[in-house]
Amino acid sequence: MSTALRRAGTIPLFLLLTALMTVTLPLWLPVAWLVSGVFPAARTAPRVLAFLTAYLWCETIGIVVSGWLWLRHGLGRSPEARKRFEEGNFALQFWWANALKRAAERLFRLRFVVEGDEVLGGDGVLLLPRHCSIGDTILPVVFYCVPHGRRLRYVLKRELLLDPCLDIVGNRLPNYFADRSSTDTAREVAGVQGLLEELPADHSVLIYPEGTRFSAAKRAHVLQRIEARGDAAAAARARARTHVLPPRPAGTLGLLEANPGRDVVFMAHTGFEQSSNFAQLFNGSWLDTEVRMRFWRVPFEALPTTPDGRRAFLDEQWDRMEREVAQLVGDRADVTIDSP
């Protein structure tokens, strides 16, 4: 599908949904409140629908502001105009992520705790976070980019192009939308490595090594696939990880191979379990939750220089990711990991 055709469908749809959710607020809010009192699985329905409305307004405002940025700076051809255009879109990204964080924080009474913030100073890095929820995608922007003045280049899945703001602003900024169904691995890896080209000191590159959101069902499926391959060592390692999925290594190893000299920062977190998709938010898993984050940094000089060494390094660090997440989960009394 062409970009123009996709946006011709998604932009009007999101604008229409925003208007409908806002106009019908007096109708659906009392109904959602009644449903939440009858069905425990929908106990936070009013809060979730309010959050959905806030998200749609973030999208609508983002679409309008992105158009204004294009009119003001996007038509310029000078390096200064292109720089202002890029910075304007980064600022819009920061506002969008912060607005969603504030909405979730107030509606669900979320609390955020950051450990290891001291390792986030200095030049940009390769950032490798755990991924378990629709909610954790804003954490790197809100708790790394904004307070430390960094710009983040994302490796994103192509399916996210259906989100108008991610489509418009995400394609204006140096991100890469990976095709997870592609059989041309070399092309996808080259696209990921392209994010390291002309990398300013204040720019970081983010990739989710797992390639998808963690859930117990996905973990069981991955285990089954590994066991079917007959790889006993990989199966044993995967079974020992109960909070993270095995890394899908191609993109991450590609970044490590082409790394121009950046340290690697890992990000463990917990608090968004039980919400690997939007529908699961109705179960109340976000309500009164403490979201804990922990960062650690590996200097560039300590990174392996051989393919086998880089693969062993990734496995070792992902074993540590499992331990860090397990410890963070153990420090919280309000979290459970879903079961298959």
**pLDDT, one tens digit for every residue, the chain (340 residues):** 789 999 999 999 999 999 999 999 999 999 988 988 888 878 889 999 999 999 999 999 999 999 999 998 988 888 899 999 999 999 999 999 999 999 999 999 999 999 999 999 999 999 999 999 888 999 999 999 999 999 999 999 999 999 999 999 999 999 999 998 888 999 999 999 999 999 999 999 999 999 988 988 899 999 999 999 888 888 999 999 999 999 999 999 999 999 999 999 999 999 988 776 677 778 888 889 999 999 999 999 999 999 999 999 999 999 999 999 999 998 654 444 443 3
Measured between alpha carbons, how far is 63 from 78 in angstroms, rounded to an integer? 24
Helix, strand, or coil here: 134? Answer: coil
pLDDT at 89: 97
Tokens of 102: 């504030």
pLDDT at 332: 58
pLDDT at 330: 84
Do residues 108 and 185 touch, judged by C-beta distance below 8 A? no
User: Which pairs from 146-149 meet CB under 8 Å and 24+ separation?
Assistant: 146/94, 146/97, 146/98, 147/117, 147/120, 148/120, 148/121, 149/202
- The C-alpha angle 35, 39, 44, rounded to 5 degrees, equals 65
Do residues 276 and 214 touch, judged by C-beta distance below 8 A? yes
Do residues 255 and 126 touch, judged by C-beta distance below 8 A? yes
pLDDT at 43: 84
pLDDT at 276: 66
pTM score of the predicted model = 0.91
Alpha helices, H only, 39-127: 45-69, 79-108
Distances (CA, A) of 144 to 259, 299, 338: 20, 18, 28
pLDDT at 205: 97
pLDDT at 76: 81
pLDDT at 338: 44
Helices (H) and strands (E) counted in the chain, each on its own, are: 12, 7
